[in-house]
Amino acid sequence: MVLAYRPACAPAANFLHPGKTRALLHAPPGRRAGRSCLKRLCRSFRSAAVLAGFSANAVSQSPYPALVEPLAVRYTVGRFCNRPATTVPMNPIVVIAPESTSYANVQQVAAELDIQDQISLHLTGLNNSLAIARQAEAEGASVIVARGWSANQIIEAGIRTPVSFIPISVQDMVMTLERALAQTASPHPRIGFTVFPQLRPDLEALSRLLPHVDLRVYPSFWTKESMHNVVLTALADNVDVLIGGETPLAIARKLGLKSQILTTGETAIRQALNMAKRICYARELEQTQTLKFQSAIEAIPQGVISLDATGSIKLLNPAARRILRLQTDMLDQPFGAVLTLPGLEQCLLFGKPIYDEIVPLGEQQLLLSAMPVFVNNVIKGAILTFHEAQKIAAQENKLQLHAKYQGVPALKTFDDIKGSSGLLVRALSRARRFAASDHTVLIDGETGTGKDLFAQAIHNASARSSGPFVAINCGALPQSLLESELFGYDKGAFTGASAKGKKGVFELADGGTLFLDEIAELNLHAQQRLLRVLESQYVLRIGGSHPIPINVRIIAATNADLWERVRARRFRADLYYRLCVLLLHLPPLREREGDIVVLARHFLNQTPLLRGMTLSADAAQVLKEHPWCGNVRELYYFIQRLCAACPDELTAEVLQAELLPGGDTTPSADSCASRRGSHFSAGDGVTDERERILQALEACHGRRSQAAQLLGMNRSTLFRKIKRLQL
């Protein structure tokens, strides 16, 4: 019979298992009540001797019921059931007590350490110790606490659960010896110890301290045959009392030899339980880390396989099974049976890693890497990771498609804008003030004046600098695709649409800045949707039904005359007013006095072949007289052309030749828009100055500074004209 103690507060259902022979006994407080309950239960099984090697006398004297009040004890008769003696789910610490005193001491020490709810305590003989240990291993116990032959038997059986030994101290042996001496009246008693061999040195030392006692040591192993031979030897030596564990003493009692069971004291039990606690803590940490690692391995989309030193598979994640199309886990099978990897033997034998090896697998290709695993400078295996080459290509295409409309990141700041002319300084000052605001900005200027550069600088100087900067050129995409790029679309929105749908640039720029270059190229329908998004701060995908909230600042840019397009009904007036909240006009390079030479020298210093070369006065004059219709962009690529020509010096003749490769097609200042910043010049059909000023003031909502910029004049000139015309 095996007794497995549980706290009485535990539900009875924890102890019951359908179809098994059991009884549940709640013993009332008090030793007498506990004894009577035990006796009634033993009589119900027709014999008290079924208690796994315990005599009826030993059972009747058992102190179990008094140890835990109230106490729940489950009794299972092992010889009536062809199964392990205990079926109760194991706690982290499984303690196998070989005798009743140790059982009681374990309960007391466990209560002192406050670990009662972590212990499954079993009182059993050597015959059932291994069965309990196997069940503990199967149910995931963290540690097994056992003594002597039971512990040795568990270890030799290959149980992988750690074992914490209950040591038998010299104090325990002395106290047991004292009880054995009380059983004999001989002045020179002969006492025998049948113990496992490790205790022999301690007992021999003890015998030297007790000259009046003839102390005999009989080393034994855990097999019954060995124990039986030891008892026969002790009997032949006329030993008065034999000390040992329950199994050899049961044999001794049958042969009529007096015996005394070797008990374990609280000190040794406390030492074993503290060690068990530390083992539990260490295993819990190990299991936590293992579970985290396992979760990460199972979650990643790449295939992962762990091999041992022989090349056998020890672990593989779900992605590996899917990619390799495995029906089973193939654990403990050689990796070569799954896939041929050149260089794997070199990796396992010499620790040579494999990087991005292309391996064919049927009709597909894998990109596979292998890294050796070293433990104390010894190769213990390898970790293989692999991808499907086709999916890598698809991901690259997706990134390229994403980058098409996301544009370059905002890398430029106001410090990157070179020049010191009055017009540029005023534009920079105005742009810095705009950066502190969160309103929409419209940047107007000829092509090549640096509108994208200013947009990036405004973003990086704003409170949104940590957010995304998404740029899209409204003139670079067909109108049929532009709306889907701007606003996105839901799955199935149109023929050829992605099954997953797609985010538009408004969603991608959420929390940051959206730069709409060449805004004038939007068609009227897209302008209407853009206005709705700007007003509501919600975007509705094409084919979608749920508006998506966004938090985006808009910076728009154009090199066209928007107001002329408004008048021609090619651009919505309400959208124009919404974009012109903050208007920034960038002057053309030809009007930036002194900046042409400054920029030319800056670009020369950035060019390795021309760094250090100086411009003569005549050469600088040539640059100043050129109209620069392409503005700063044209000047930059002119310097690149000089670099390719590799001149020995930068003279006026050299510059003139590069500026005028045809020799007779000199562009003039008249061929460029001399006042590109004015949307209300005499050429737009408005001849009356009064009407032009009124239109500008209306377009700018009465803001005279913005109206002056629209008209291409400074603010003081506009004020004088307003006063003169009595507006």
Of residues 597 and 29, the one with the higher pLDDT is 597
CATH classification number, 407-585, choose in 3.30.2010.10, 1.10.3720.10, 3.30.200.20, 3.40.50.300: 3.40.50.300
Nearest-10 Cα torsion for 612, 618, 621, 626: -90
Helix axes 126-138, 148-156, angle to 10 degrees: 50
Q: With CA atoms as reference, report the closest residue to 323 among 386, 374, 379, 268.
A: 386
Q: Which of 65-69, 135-139, 284-288, 418-422 has the lowest mean pLDDT?
A: 65-69
Of residues 477 and 579, the one with the higher pLDDT is 579
Length of the chain: 727
pLDDT value at 9 more than 60: no
Average the pLDDT over 466-479 and give the result: 85
Q: Give me the CATH code for the 682-724 domain, please.
A: 1.10.10
Over residues 41-72, the pLDDT tens digits come to 333 333 333 333 333 333 333 333 322 222 22
What pLDDT sits at residue 193? 87
Both structure tokens of 695: 């239109």
Angstrom distance (rounded) from CA 522 to CA 487: 13
End-to-end CA distance of the chain: 113
pLDDT value at 680 more than 60: no
pLDDT value at 672 more than 90: no
CA 490 to chain centre: 30
Sign of CA dihedral 287, 290, 294, 300: positive
pLDDT value at 455 more than 70: yes
Strands 303-308 and 378-388: antiparallel
pLDDT classification of 301: cutoffs 50, 70, 90:
confident
What pLDDT sits at residue 674? 42
Number of neighbours of residue 174 by Cβ within 10 angstroms = 12
Average the pLDDT over 581-588 and give the result: 93
DSSP reduced 3-state for 259: strand
Strands 538-539 and 548-549: antiparallel
pLDDT value at 12 more than 80: no
What pLDDT sits at residue 612? 67
Of residues 74 and 396, the one with the higher pLDDT is 396
Count of H-run helices and E-run strands, the chain: 28, 25
For the chain, the average pLDDT equals: 77
Q: Which of 360-374, 501-515, 618-632, 680-694 has the lowest mean pLDDT?
A: 680-694
pLDDT value at 378 more than 50: yes
Q: Give me the CATH code for the 589-671 domain, please.
A: 1.10.8.60
Angstrom distance (rounded) from CA 414 to CA 454: 7
Q: Which of 388-392, 397-401, 535-539, 676-680 has the lowest mean pLDDT?
A: 676-680
Burial (CB < 10 A; 0-12, 13-18, 19+), residue 631, is buried
pLDDT classification of 76: cutoffs 50, 70, 90:
very low
pLDDT classification of 705: cutoffs 50, 70, 90:
confident
pLDDT value at 677 more than 50: no
Average the pLDDT over 582-589 and give the result: 93
Of residues 455 and 7, the one with the higher pLDDT is 455
For 91, phi then psi, to 5°, come to -85, 175
Over residues 148-203, the pLDDT tens digits come to 778 888 888 888 899 998 888 888 888 888 889 888 888 889 998 887 777 778 88
Angstrom distance (rounded) from CA 106 to CA 100: 10
Q: Which of 177-186, 202-211, 337-346 has the lowest mean pLDDT?
A: 202-211
Average the pLDDT over 380-400 and give the result: 76
With beta carbons less than 8 A apart as the criterion, state whether 688 and 717 touch. Answer: no
What pLDDT sits at residue 519? 92
- What per-residue string of b and e applies to 232-245 under the rule 16 or more CB within 10 Å gives b? eebbeeebbbbbbb
Q: Which of 7-11, 33-37, 110-114, 159-163 has the lowest mean pLDDT?
A: 7-11
Helix axes 631-645, 595-606, angle to 10 degrees: 40
What pLDDT sits at residue 475? 82
Both structure tokens of 710: 């629209």
CA 675 to chain centre: 57
Q: Give me the CATH code for the 170-263 domain, please.
A: 3.40.50.10660
Q: With CA atoms as reference, report the closest residue to 258 among 249, 267, 266.
A: 249
User: In terms of pTM, does the model score above 0.75?
Assistant: no
CATH topology agreement for domains 2-166 and 170-263? yes
Both structure tokens of 125: 């003989």
**Superfamily, domain 304-392:** PAS domain (3.30.450.20)
Helix axes 617-625, 595-606, angle to 10 degrees: 110
Radius of gyration of the chain (CA): 46
User: From residue 25, how far is each of 14, 73, 74, 112, 121 by CA, in Å?
Assistant: 13, 6, 7, 25, 16
Angstrom distance (rounded) from CA 129 to CA 96: 7
What pLDDT sits at residue 308? 92
CA 579 to chain centre: 43
pLDDT classification of 697: cutoffs 50, 70, 90:
confident
With beta carbons less than 8 A apart as the criterion, state whether 248 and 87 touch. Answer: no
Bridge partner list, 473 = 517
pLDDT value at 302 more than 70: yes
CA 421 to chain centre: 53
Q: With CA atoms as reference, report the closest residue to 526 among 564, 492, 493, 570.
A: 570
Fold of 2-166: Rossmann fold (3.40.50)
For 91-138, the DSSP string reads: PSEEEEESSHHHHHHHHHHHHHHT-GGGEEEEE--HHHHHHHHHHHHH
CA 627 to chain centre: 58
pLDDT classification of 398: cutoffs 50, 70, 90:
low
Domain spans in the chain, listed from the N-terminal domain onward: 2-166, 170-263, 304-392, 407-585, 589-671, 682-724
What pLDDT sits at residue 518? 92
Over residues 602-647, the pLDDT tens digits come to 888 887 767 767 778 888 888 888 888 889 988 888 888 887 777 7
